Structure 1
Amino acid sequence: MKIAVMGMGVAGSYLMARLKNSEHEVVGYERMPTERHDSICAWGTIKEELTNFCKKTGRNFDDFLIHDGKEMHVKMNDNVKFDIGLKGLCTYNKLGLIKDFIKDCNVIYGKAPRLEELEKEYDMIVDCTGFNRSYLPKMEQDFYLPTYEYKVEYENGVPYDDFYIEPFPGMSGYFWYFPLGENYAHIGAGDYNKNHIKATDEFLKKHGGKVVATKGRPIRLATPDRCKPYYSGKVVGVGESIGTVYALLGEGIIPSMQCVNIFMENMHDFKAYEKAIEKHYSVYAKVFNFVRAKIHNDFNFLKALPDFIAIFRYMKKNEDRFGMHIKIGDLLKVAKA
């Protein structure tokens, strides 16, 4: 087949690397020109998971690793503070890995062809355009958080030696501090109530530092069960375009790369792909319902208890995938915020 992969972000670039040595003719499209091609949002991920993804493309994740976390410092809105032990949570050169995935691939920059043009030339069009979902039909009802972030350089020492987060009241989002080596960090926030810029600027004012980059975009929290259709005609969605973000953490790197693996196993059968997506991301709907109820101030803990237990069991069973020690007490502190 002749395949067009639209969008060179996390999902699109990884898919290009996976398809590179296949029997298909693959062309990637990135709407930004080469010099403006960038990676939006914090560079936090799980070392073991990314190591396995990289192995599938003949790459060594250690070449892109920046900071290997030991503890995550958490400050709640009622000034309760605690630390979460980490087991693999890290920061990495996200843009560097994206560019490495596609360095030997056929990628056309600065162009976003219309669907009609693509349909004439390609047998399959893979929508990896993330939040924009540029080539799939519009969703009936979306749900997203606006985000805002600075990359900051510190000349007189960093304010924190490891990961730091401040969940907002009602779980409407959180502020993050992600270390990027000795003198740099990403600071930013996502918030449904739109206090994300204020929180980020207050942290910058308090701790100082030189802003070297500013980024921001919405992140989709609507889960795959709310992002249908996954395919339409020649178009099939992969990654955040079909809702692969874990709503409790606002984390989409690993879920989007998992989606690529699922697509690779089912790319010749879209119905099988849909069933595999539904099965793999089924717990995400429980997580989304839990978070949305908190955000909309429609939360009843007794009513939400079955979902809370299911979320805890899922995360506890998959501690290595989430890169942290999961304790029910910590989860309760966040849930009661």
Structure 2
Amino acid sequence: MKIAVVGVGVAGGYLLSRLKKDHDVVGFERMTEENHDSICAWGTSANEMRGLCAKSGINFDDFIIHHGKDMHIDMNNNERFDIKLKGLVTFDKIGLIKKMAEGVKIHYGVVPKLEELEKEFDLIVDCTGFHRSYLPKIKKDFFLPTYQYKIQYDGKVPIDDFFVKPFSGMTGYFWYFPLNENMAHIGAGDYKKNHIVETDKFFEKYGGKVTKTVGRPIRLATPNMCEPFYHGKVVGVGESIGTVYPLLGEGIIPSMICADIFVRNMHDLPKYREEVLQYFAIYGKVLNFIRAKMNGNFSAIRSIVDLISIFRYMKKNEQRFGMEIHMRDLMKVAKA
């Protein structure tokens, strides 16, 4: 088949790597090549990424920047605790995407019209993330604005490992992800739009030189809210159909898993839809939990069944999340 993959982020790059051997694949990316970057703080679980990248003949370890040991959590109520990490790393995301796309023609700085793509390609894969450029508009979307700096410090980074500060009511969180001995990503996403203020507070406290600024909304609407997944020649993969884990705002691994589901079912799109809804069903429960917190009507008693389901899902998938999962930590977040 002749396939256009529009949006060369992690989902699009991974798809190019999976499809290029058997199909005539072309990539399109709205950013110019020199400005190609990501709002994502480049954090992921090496355990899961090794297996996913191996399907494309890529050694993920070649792209790891920092191996995490502990994630420092500041609950904004004078309670602080650490979560033991089990494979959480920061990695060279853009370098990995370029490796994935090797040998494929990429048109940078271009977002072609749908009519033009339909004339030339058998299939158009919408990996444009939040923009969802070629699929019908979502009726009830839900997203957070986000903002991030890449900081270079004169000496060593101010915090030795991952640091996260959830905002009151779970409206979002501030993140600090070390990249190497003197560089880090700092940023935040917040439903109440205090993300820039919180990022700048940290920057003013610890200083450093801003080398890159990026910002865009991140979709937290889950797949059950993001239909249709396909329309005409267009099929969505990744964040365009809601594959971001709402509790963490993490979409790298989920989007790659979604791409795997697509590759298995690209000739049977109803089956693709079915598998996506089944695999990501837990995401809807997670989002309901978060929205109840945001709206101020959360009750641990009323939500205990969903909380147990979320805990069991994350506990079962500790290696995938790259951290130890304990009910006590989830309850701290739920009660804050």
Pick the TM interval, shorter chain.
over 0.9
Q: What is residue 61 of structure 1 aligned with on the other side?
A: 60
Q: What is residue 267 of structure 2 aligned with on the other side?
A: 268
Q: Is the 8 A contact 2:147 2:196 kept in 1?
A: yes
Separation in 2, partners of 1:98, 1:78: 39
Q: What is residue 189 of structure 1 aligned with on the other side?
A: 188
Q: Is the 8 A contact 2:39 2:147 kept in 1?
A: no
Separation in 1, partners of 2:194, 2:317: 31
Q: What is residue 204 of structure 1 aligned with on the other side?
A: 203
Separation in 2, partners of 1:15, 1:140: 27
1:116 CA displacement? 1.1
Report the residue type matching 2:13 in the other structure: S
Q: What is residue 103 of structure 2 aligned with on the other side?
A: 104
Report the residue type matching 1:299 in the other structure: F
- Residue 92 (str. 1) matches residue 91 (str. 2): yes
Q: What is residue 238 of structure 2 aligned with on the other side?
A: 239
Separation in 2, partners of 1:242, 1:35: 27
1:194 CA displacement? 0.6
Q: What is residue 18 of structure 2 aligned with on the other side?
A: 18
Separation in 2, partners of 1:33, 1:315: 37
Separation in 2, partners of 1:327, 1:41: 25
- Residue 45 (str. 1) matches residue 48 (str. 2): no
Separation in 1, partners of 2:42, 2:110: 26
Separation in 2, partners of 1:82, 1:203: 19
Q: What is residue 295 of structure 2 aligned with on the other side?
A: 296
Q: What is residue 71 of structure 1 aligned with on the other side?
A: 70
1:155 CA displacement? 1.1
Identity %: 63
Separation in 1, partners of 2:38, 2:148: 12
Superposition TM-score, scaled by structure 1 size = 0.98
Separation in 2, partners of 1:193, 1:256: 26
1:39 CA displacement? 2.2
Separation in 2, partners of 1:2, 1:98: 21
Q: Is the 8 A contact 2:177 2:185 kept in 1?
A: yes
Q: Which moved more, 1:104-113 or 1:276-285?
A: 104-113
3-state SS in 1 of match to 2:94: helix
3-state SS in 2 of match to 1:8: coil
Separation in 2, partners of 1:121, 1:127: 15
Report the residue type matching 1:15 in the other structure: L
Give structure 2 stretches of 5+ with no counterpart.
none
Q: What is residue 119 of structure 1 aligned with on the other side?
A: 118
Q: What is residue 248 of structure 2 aligned with on the other side?
A: 249
Q: Which consecutive segments of 4 or more residues in structure 1 shift more than 3 A?
A: none
Separation in 2, partners of 1:251, 1:196: 17
Q: What is residue 6 of structure 1 aligned with on the other side?
A: 6
1:103 CA displacement? 2.4
1:164 CA displacement? 0.5
3-state SS in 1 of match to 2:303: helix
Report the residue type matching 2:15 in the other structure: L
1:2 CA displacement? 1.1
1:157 CA displacement? 2.2
Report the residue type matching 1:164 in the other structure: F
1:233 CA displacement? 0.8
3-state SS in 2 of match to 1:146: strand
Separation in 2, partners of 1:73, 1:58: 34
Separation in 2, partners of 1:278, 1:304: 22
Report the residue type matching 2:313 in the other structure: Y
Q: Is the 8 A contact 1:41 1:215 kept in 2?
A: no
1:92 CA displacement? 0.1
Deviations 1:186-241 (A, max 9, x none): 01100001111011100011111111111111000000000000001111000000
1:53 CA displacement? 1.4
1:25 CA displacement? 1.3
Q: Is the 8 A contact 2:171 2:191 kept in 1?
A: yes
RMSD value, Cα: 0.8
- Residue 310 (str. 1) matches residue 309 (str. 2): yes
Separation in 2, partners of 1:214, 1:34: 16
Matches within 5 A, 1:310-329: 310-329=309-328
3-state SS in 2 of match to 1:147: strand
Separation in 2, partners of 1:205, 1:283: 38
Deviations 1:250-280 (A, max 9, x none): 0000000000100010000000000000110
Deviations 1:264-315 (A, max 9, x none): 1000000000000011001000001000111111212211111111000100
- Residue 31 (str. 1) matches residue 30 (str. 2): yes
Report the residue type matching 1:3 in the other structure: I
3-state SS in 1 of match to 2:301: helix
1:41 CA displacement? 2.0
Q: Is the 8 A contact 1:41 1:216 kept in 2?
A: no
